[in-house]
Structure 1
Amino acid sequence: MTEYLLNIFAAITASFLLTYLSIPPIVRISNEKHLFDEPNSRKLNKTAIPTLGGVSIFIGVSLGATLFLGSLHFFELRYIFAALIMLFFIGLKDDILVISARKKLMVQIVAAIILVTLGNVEITNLSNLFFLNQISAWISIPLSFMLLLFIINAMNLIDGIDGLASGIAILVSGVLGSWFFVSGHIQYAILSFAIAGSLLAFLRYNLWGGDNKIFMGDTGSLILGGLLGILVIQFLNLNIAAPTLVKMQNAPAFVLSLLIVPVTDTLRVFTIRIYQKRSPFSPDMNHIHHLLIRSGMKHIQASSFLVLYTAFFAAFTLATATYLSSTISFMLVLGMSFGAIALLKKRTDKITERREQQIRLTRQILSTGLPLQEDPFHILETKKKIYQN
């Protein structure tokens, strides 16, 4: 095993450097060609930011993962990159020209079909989830197909604030990459750490880029969704025959915990939109990260909170694996997350209501024409904060 550590180190280093070095010229080209994410009423950025970070992520992951496989056999890689190229180009077209959700979905469907039918990215065993173990192709193929589509779109939906999609993807790829390594599946370990290396470089520019600040755009989020979908499905498959020392108990619940933010968020916003008789893909400001921003958090604080939120659920699943069945663990994690988001929504609504009351009160006082020093409610500092926000 130790002889492959150099391959993994080379992959993560190469993917990091390739992404890190490619972002500044991509930002420069974006500025010259006016390829920006323009601010509007439903976006949180206040200035025009280049959106082609997914191009650099694709460069870093594809070269980092393929250059250092050495003599390792990786049959599925050809189909993985065939699907990723399709997601790359449809995401790039959306970032530059903006296309309909239907067209994006059609390309995602074709990419998922390639992965499931040709690339063997297919769930064959549910590890006793809902009392199901080995499942037939009639169930496994559509299930795998729908799971891939769900994760691709879920990662696309949570990419609304700086550092969120990339932070969660770093956590997931790092955890699963470590498991792939200790269980002897070096090919997928290299792919996982190439993803993590590329995203670490992207995160530096996304959070602290200054003049080189960049978003990953649909190009990046669609690629990430496809890659994470592949990793979790292969983890579920390979875990079945893993040695006892590394075999993960309640693997489906563990996967859910790693993806708890995109899963909870997608199910929640889809339910709200359908209830409001809108398309599930119609944009709005109801995402979990929007709740955190409205509660007063900054982007990096909200992203860090949700990454730690994910880590908590992953740790909880591991800690309770010997005490809970796969089904109970799965349902408990999902229920706890929805409960936590409901409490967060209630808290945010209270904060928003209090802020609106303060604004109304301030306007009433100012309308009287009284000087600020005669303000009978002594809310000068409150008014300053309101206007600063």
Structure 2
Amino acid sequence: MDAPGGRKIHSGFIPSMGGIGFILATFISVAIWFSYENLLETRFFLAAFGLIFFVGLRDDLVNLTAWQKLGAQVVAAYMVVVMTDIRLTGLYGFMGIYDIPLWSSYLLSIFTILSLTNAFNLIDGLDGLAGSLSLIPLVFLGWWFASMDMMSYSLFSFALVGGICSFLLFNWHPAKIFMGDTGSLSIGFALAVLTVYFIDTNANSLGVMGVKFAAPIATGIAILIVPIYDTSRVFIRRMMQGKSPMSPDKSHVHHFLMRMGFRHDQVTLILISLKIFFIGIIFLGSNFSDYVMLPVVILTAVIFGLKLDAITLKQVKKNNSKAPPILAKRKNKTKSTTSKTKVSAEILEDAKISNN
């Protein structure tokens, strides 16, 4: 059970670890639909995905330290990068860099997978938010892998989509169950690995099959723009305030939207619309290189973020100006307490006279 209080914004005790349902459903779907060749191709990825699932499950049952979780994530990322060879092989012409040394490729790929996994884990703060935000990139990646005849990863993406859709029936506001780290870490890891694989495969493809995006790095960022921007923004703000970037607070994008008066479901729909908007941008600019699309994607995200901060601050000030002063609240509370005490004394007096 996830208890309320602290930084939690839900009321009442809500069952957690809902990720067990849709992650197990994904594995069952894989067992049904995958051929022997599919399983052979993805065996290390599926093993790493299972490892992350058990790490999240363990963390939900008994809180693990940050280093314990990070250590397990490094092992899972190593399995994918080194054993499956899903990695970033270079910068694909950006800044004149094409191929990079093998050890640099390994380090860059593991760092990217770890960063994206934990960035997605951090946005799991509202009813239906993490699940909804994962559906759009998973559908996009499943479609793209299918267009490239990479059916193993396409089937996996769509199997995970099916599990998450069924979970959202119970996780939509007001949520009856949360996914917990069991779900958010698993989804984050899957999205991170699939996005890295997409970037490298798209960049090195000849464009004979499927849709080729001329800006692979910008496209990968646009796919996961919400967790990437939110985590970067939060870490920068904390460091500017002299805090540890890992210190918890309520400065995430969804917290700001909540302060503007939006409900959980409204915040989720707003962020889903933003993600669809950014994916629309990469389709419109599919023929432009990273030299064009990277500044477009990053600057658009920064402008939206700064505008959101300004609107939120204005709305909070407006709400505070309408609220009664704290002293007035205390005065009213004191009067209310005094009145209740007086009535109680009268009741006691009446009871005493009746007894005589």
Which range, TM-score by smaller chain?
0.7 to 0.9
Report the alpha carbon displacement of residue 333 of structure 1 after superposing the two structures with TM.
0.8
TM-score normalised by the chain length of structure 2: 0.87
Distance 1:41 1:139, change over 3 A: same
The structure 1 residue matched to 2:305, chosen from 341, 345, 368, is 341
- Report SS of the residue matched to 2:172: helix
Q: What is the one-letter code of the residue matched to 2:189?
A: G
Task: Give RMSD over aligned pairs.
Answer: 2.1
Q: Is the 8 A contact 1:64 1:194 kept in 2?
A: yes
**Structure 1 gap segments, 5+ residues each:** 1-35, 370-389
Partner of 2:162: 197
Tell me, in whole angstroms, the C-alpha distance in 1 between the residues paired with 2:189 and 2:329: 54
Moved over 6 A (4+): none
Is 1:81 matched with 2:46? Answer: yes
After TM superposition, the structure 1 stretch with the greater mean CA deviation from structure 2, 303-312 or 58-67, is 58-67
Tell me, in whole angstroms, the C-alpha distance in 1 between the residues paired with 2:285 and 2:310: 29
Tell me, in whole angstroms, the C-alpha distance in 1 between the residues paired with 2:40 and 2:89: 18
Report the alpha carbon displacement of residue 76 of structure 1 after superposing the two structures with TM.
4.2
Distance 1:351 1:363, change over 3 A: farther
Report the alpha carbon displacement of residue 247 of structure 1 after superposing the two structures with TM.
1.6
Is 1:54 matched with 2:3? Answer: no
Partner of 2:108: 143
Q: Is the 8 A contact 1:116 1:145 kept in 2?
A: yes
Partner of 1:17: none
Query: In the comparison of the two structures, how many residue pairs are matched?
Result: 331
Tell me, in whole angstroms, the C-alpha distance in 2 between the residues paired with 1:113 and 1:96: 25
Q: What is the one-letter code of the residue matched to 1:304?
A: L
Partner of 1:68: 33
Partner of 2:89: 124
**Structure 2 gap segments, 5+ residues each:** 334-356
Report the alpha carbon displacement of residue 230 of structure 1 after superposing the two structures with TM.
1.4
Tell me, in whole angstroms, the C-alpha distance in 2 between the residues paired with 1:272 and 1:86: 33
Partner of 1:28: none
Report the alpha carbon displacement of residue 186 of structure 1 after superposing the two structures with TM.
0.8
Partner of 1:24: none
Give identity over the alignment, percent. Answer: 32
Is 1:114 matched with 2:74? Answer: no
Q: Is the 8 A contact 1:128 1:327 kept in 2?
A: no
Q: Highest Rg: 1 or 2?
A: 2
- Report SS of the residue matched to 2:286: coil
Q: Is the 8 A contact 2:26 2:163 kept in 1?
A: yes
Tell me, in whole angstroms, the C-alpha distance in 2 between the residues paired with 1:46 and 1:66: 38
After TM superposition, the structure 1 stretch with the greater mean CA deviation from structure 2, 166-175 or 329-338, is 329-338
Partner of 2:186: 223
The structure 2 residue matched to 1:104, chosen from 69, 94, 102, is 69
Partner of 1:153: 118
- Report SS of the residue matched to 1:142: helix
Q: Is the 8 A contact 1:257 1:317 kept in 2?
A: yes
Q: What is the one-letter code of the residue matched to 1:229?
A: A
Distance 1:364 1:103, change over 3 A: same
Residue by residue, what CA displacement relative to the aligned partner does 1:333-353 show, whole Å, maximum 9, x if unpaired?
112112211110111111111
Is 1:254 matched with 2:242? Answer: no
Report the alpha carbon displacement of residue 278 of structure 1 after superposing the two structures with TM.
3.0
